[in-house]
Amino acid sequence: MLDFHTHDLKPNSVFNLIIGKDQVPESGYFTAGIHPWFFENIEQQFAELKQISQHKKCIAIGECGLDKLKGADIKIQIEVFKNHLQLAETMSKPLIIHCVKAHNDLLEIKKKSGSTMPWVVHGFNQNPTIALRLIDHGFYFSLGKSLLHTESNSCKVLNQIPPERLFLETDSADVTIEEVYKAASERLQLPLQQLVANLQDNFRILFKIND
């Protein structure tokens, strides 16, 4: 069972490397970005990100994004996010997005960006209206712990997400990826092994991985 986004080093997972906080893992796939909570010396951090993004096991740029509840001023966050977007295009790698209370801003950037790379919103737990708007603009989604709660937004939107644009994750939550997959399998009324196979296919297609 692939864990699409985690902050722990473990098998069958994609490690999220936060620039200025984490080191490149010795093995396994990872993504790298400047998290909006951890802006320090942006110029230096971005130089480090550019270098790390060339690593053969770095499969995406991010997580990066917009957070109106925590972090730097939103205008600064937007500029840093746009730099990530440009790097993703240069490196031909998908973008992994952290977004809190800023989905309108995210959509406006997407509409104007001319981006050709996939954008994945991780930890998605928003209402069906926001989900449908993002779906209409080609976003991918990674859902996590909230699927264990039957009244969550994640459970309400799970069946709306195109199957080929779905991933599952633990992030930094105190749950196992097996619990998340089981919950998703039940909500989708899809056999667990079929769900596992589908998400493995999604992973290989999104990141163009053949092994």
- According to the model, what pLDDT value does residue 210 have? 80
- According to the model, what pLDDT value does residue 211 have? 65
**176-204 confidence digits (pLDDT tens):** 999 999 999 999 999 999 999 999 999 99
Nearest to 184 by CA among 196, 197, 200: 196
**58-104 confidence digits (pLDDT tens):** 999 999 999 999 999 999 999 999 999 999 999 999 999 999 999 99
**99-136 confidence digits (pLDDT tens):** 999 999 999 999 999 999 999 999 999 999 999 999 99
**Residue 4 and residue 122 in contact, taking contact as beta carbons nearer than 8 Å:** yes
CA distance 82 to 92: 15
pTM of the model: 0.96
CA distance 71 to 98: 12
Under the phi-then-psi rule, with left for phi > 0, alpha for psi from -120 to 50, and beta for the rest, what region is 33?
A: beta
Yes or no: domain 3-207 corresponds to CATH 3.40.190.10: no
**137-150 confidence digits (pLDDT tens):** 999 999 999 999 99
